[in-house]
Amino acid sequence: MFACLLLPCLCAAALAQAVSFPELNSAVPGNQDVTYFDLAKMIVPDLKPGNDGFYTGGAPIEMRDILEGNNGGSPPETVNLPNATVLAIKAGGKDRLAMLLDLGQSQDSAEGFAVLALYDLTAKPKLLDAVNVGTDQSTYFRDPGKLPISAGDDALITMSTHFNSNQGYVGTILILVRNDRFEAIDQINTFDENVCAYKRTQDLSFRTHGGEKPYAAIKVTVTDATKPSGENCEEPAPKAASHDISVTYRWDKAKSRYVRNSDAFEKLSAENAKHF
């Protein structure tokens, strides 16, 4: 319950309707001879049903980290999967399925290991790409899960998080799917805090601006809000405040990637770190 107070985007009511959580043994729509378990075995080859409703297996296939320069966590020696998290998307004008499998943490890693996989289901199911998107303990698709950036393309949004007694930490990754491969657009780090004197939240919203080719511009806004609790606390209560921090990402043809128009999110991350 406290996690939901700190991180409302984790609560079920906030999940995008496009994201679904099928049982691994259920059939993939339009592919009755294929189950999500079959797709997951392309990631964890020795995956098998357990006795407790979970699916267990060893190490996943080799894959790169979505942030490349940053070293992500390492996979645990044994994985336990209760279900799949899937999202139907468009990429290059084609129907694709994105599946997110949070494999958990290894004993020597502070970050979890979460696989974002891309499948072509038009004929025999084919794994097109797989990357580690885990940057913290638990990883999810972040509402709204995907953003239409052209008539035939969706960008994806994942988030990794952990929380303690009064602070929540979230790393959100914007992801482009190009040539059937995942490419990170940017990572946005936000911070929530709930103490006696006040509650501070940093909520994200996403908008696209059509008309730009080949991909629409993406505007991301962090609403940083502080609300006094009204309680009698040892620490002084700050004044109520709320302000927006926005960054717009536009496609740069020469660089062949999205480019942001500001370093405002980097400055926010540095300012947040002072409160850890």
Among residues 188, 195, 183, which one has the least CA distance to residue 236?
Answer: 195
pLDDT of residue 107: 72
Q: Which segments within the chain are labelled E, that is strand?
A: 27-28, 31-35, 48-49, 55-57, 64-65, 79-81, 85-91, 94-102, 114-120, 126-132, 138-150, 153-163, 167-178, 181-194, 198-209, 217-228, 241-252, 257-260
Cβ atoms of 154 and 216 within 8 Å: the answer is no
∠ CA 71-75-81, nearest 5°, is: 135
Q: Output the six-digit token pair for 66.
A: 């979505």
pLDDT of residue 120: 97
pTM of the model: 0.90
Where does the chain have alpha helices with state H? 2-6, 36-41, 264-273
pLDDT of residue 8: 40
Say which residue the tokens 């505007």 belong to.
Answer: 219
Tens of pLDDT along the chain (276 residues) come to: 334 434 443 333 334 458 999 999 999 988 889 999 999 999 999 999 987 888 999 999 999 999 986 556 788 888 888 888 999 999 999 999 999 999 988 777 778 899 999 999 998 999 999 999 999 989 999 999 999 999 999 999 999 998 888 999 999 999 999 999 999 999 999 999 999 999 999 999 999 987 788 999 999 999 999 999 999 998 888 899 999 999 999 999 999 999 999 999 999 999 998 887
